[in-house]
Amino acid sequence: MTPKAKDETHDLVSATDRNLVLSSLEHGQLVKAKKQDIPRRHLKGLELVVLWALRSYLLFMMAVVVYQAWTAAR
């Protein structure tokens, strides 16, 4: 038995529960359905500029915070 198959035997449920799940949950809510990846979206120029700008801002500000903590500790 492969590890995956072994894992799935834990998930076996009764027919009543199966019907309950299928009648009360949306398809996208099922654990197995959620294992399907959502298609990747490629970021465009302006989006990348904003993300990199904010990333740089965060790294710089973290250095400022560390500096402030260091000076305060001294």
Partner 1 sequence: MPRSVEIPLQDDVLITHEDVDRAHDRVRVSAARAEHGLSSQARLFWLLIGPGVLVMLGENDGPSMLSYAATGAKFGIGFFIPFVVLTFCMAIVVQEMTVRLGAATHRGHAELIFERFGPFWGWFSMIDLGIGNFLTLITEFIAIRAGAGYFGVPAWAAVLVALVILYSALVSHRYWTWERITLVAALFNLVFVPVALLAHPNWHAVGHSLITWKPLPGFNRDTLLIVLADIGATVTPWMLFFQQSATVDKGMTTKDIRFGRIDTTLGAALAVAAALATILATAPLFAHQMSAENFQAAEFAQALEPLIGHFGASLFALGMIEAGIVASITISTSSAYAFGEVAHKPHSLNLPVTQGKSFYSVLSLCAAAAAAIVLIPGLPLVYVVLLVNVVAVLAMPPALVFLFMLVNDKEIMGDLVSPVWANVLSTGVVLVLTFAGVLFGISIIAPNIFAALGGN
Which CB atom, from 1 or from 13, has the smaller least distance to partner 1?
A: 13
- Between CA 62 and CA 65 the distance in angstroms is 5
For 28, residues 6+ apart whose C-beta sits below 8 A from its C-beta are 34
Least distance from C-beta 54 to partner 1, angstroms?
4
**Token pair 């989006």 in the structure block, residue:** 47
Residues of this chain that bind partner 1 (CB under 8 A): 7-8, 10-13, 17-18, 20-22, 24-41, 43, 47, 50-51, 54-55, 57-58, 60-62, 64-65, 67-69, 72-73
Secondary structure (3-state) at 15: helix
Min dist CB 63 to partner 1, Å, is 9
Shortest distance (Å) from residue 45 CB to partner 1:
14
Cα–Cα distance for residue pair 6/14, rounded to 1 Å: 18
